[in-house]
Chains A and B, each alone.
Chain A
Amino acid sequence: MTKNNSVLSEEQTKVRRSRSIALAVTLGVLVLLFYVVTIVKLGPGVMDRPM
């Protein structure tokens, strides 16, 4: 960030973009991870609920 916190240099924009991508990937992996854990822990029981 620059002093007035408004204009980012090319390098700063680049690292911010790479951080954003890493955050997005991490969030995606977490969603997948919790989905898989739910299936593994509940097994077929995940579908066994009163409608």
Chain B
Amino acid sequence: MTMLEQTQALHEDGIDLGGRGSVSDYIALLKPRVMSLVVFTAAVGLVMAPGNQHPVLSFISILCIAIGGGASGALNMWWDADIDAIMSRTKKRPIPAGKITRKEAFAFGMVLSFGSVLTLGLVANWVAAGLLAFTIFFYVAIYTMWLKRNTPQNIVIGGAAGALPPMVGWAAVTGDVTLVSVALFMITFTWTPPHFWALALVKNGDYQEAGVPMLPVVAGETATRHQILLYSVLLLPVGMAPYFLGFASLFYGIGSAILGLMFLGHAVRVWKVREGEAAKKTAMSLFKFSLFYLMLIFAGLLAESMLGLV
């Protein structure tokens, strides 16, 4: 009897004792790809922050932020197991695949949440720990449990959770929240809607089937294209804000302007091409470029800070 058959048999009996998940299944619960983005942006906030934190404490702070981000991923999968089982993109996740029970995912997520917040508080400071706790709370309770299934603005507001890690990284060094860390937050916050809506245009059917009110499902694809364009226009000055605020060089200013214009170019193409396979292709290329954009923006800030150009 395979593991999945055993799970089904136990489900029929109304009992699921769990204990089938392998180490890699538990790692999958942490959403490693999202985690890598969290680690990267948090590290940029931490490196840019003024002050002298011992490298060992910096490393552990980043580790805590990564684990906290992973914990919110596990709690997201605990709550969303029903819709994950419907969507093609998510149905192979450990819970719908029958490898980990919801109860196990919940326990795993909660232990890691408390562990990462408390450790960050002891290692760095309680402002950073409070921000990390708020990030987890916002992603799980506000986005996953409340907004995701109730409003097409779900990812606009929920995007705040994904944008907080650089602020947590900054606070781990300085113990405060400043205009610079808010500017870093704003970059990811403004970037999130066009990034996710580009994917939603491609995976529209999936979200429709699962009953998730993503913008293309509720307002239609044309309205989504307008919104993508609007946020892409906003992203241009927001991406350049570190230069305007004086904590990035002219070199970054020019680079971020070029990247912002390229982003806008992709968004205009998505706005223009609305029919058939070509429409899906342009939306997918915007989605891919958006990942490249965010990586380069934060890499630029990291490089400038490390090279002492600012």
Q: Which A residues form the contact surface with B (CB < 8 A)?
A: 1-3, 5, 9, 11-12, 15-16, 18-19, 22, 33, 36-37, 40-41
Contact = CB atoms under 8 A, between A and B. Distances in A.
Interface residues of B, number: 22
Contacts of B17: 1, 5
A33 B60 contact: yes
Contact of B60 (A12, A22, A37): A37
B21 A19 contact: yes
7 contacts: A1-B19, A15-B22, A19-B22, A22-B23, A22-B26, A33-B60, A40-B56
A9 B119 CA distance: 38
Given A18-B22, A36-B56, A37-B123, 15 more contacts: A1-B20, A5-B17, A12-B3, A12-B19, A12-B20, A15-B23, A18-B23, A19-B22, A19-B26, A22-B26, A37-B57, A37-B60, A37-B122, A40-B57, A41-B57
Interface of B: 1, 3, 6, 9-10, 13, 15, 17-23, 26, 54, 56-57, 60, 119, 122-123
B70 to A, nearest CB: 13
Interface pairs A-B: 4 shortest CB-CB: A1-B17, A15-B22, A22-B23, A1-B19
B23 A19 contact: yes
Contacts of A33: 60, 119
Given A36-B56, A40-B54, A15 B21 contact: yes
Secondary structure at chain A's binding surface: helix, strand, loop or mixed? helix
Secondary structure at chain B's binding surface: helix, strand, loop or mixed? helix
B20 A2 contact: no
A41 B54 CA distance: 9
A3 to B, nearest CB: 7
Contacts of A2: 6
Nearest to A16: B19
A15 B21 CA distance: 7
Nearest to A18: B23
Contacts of B56: 36-37, 40
A17 to B, nearest CB: 10
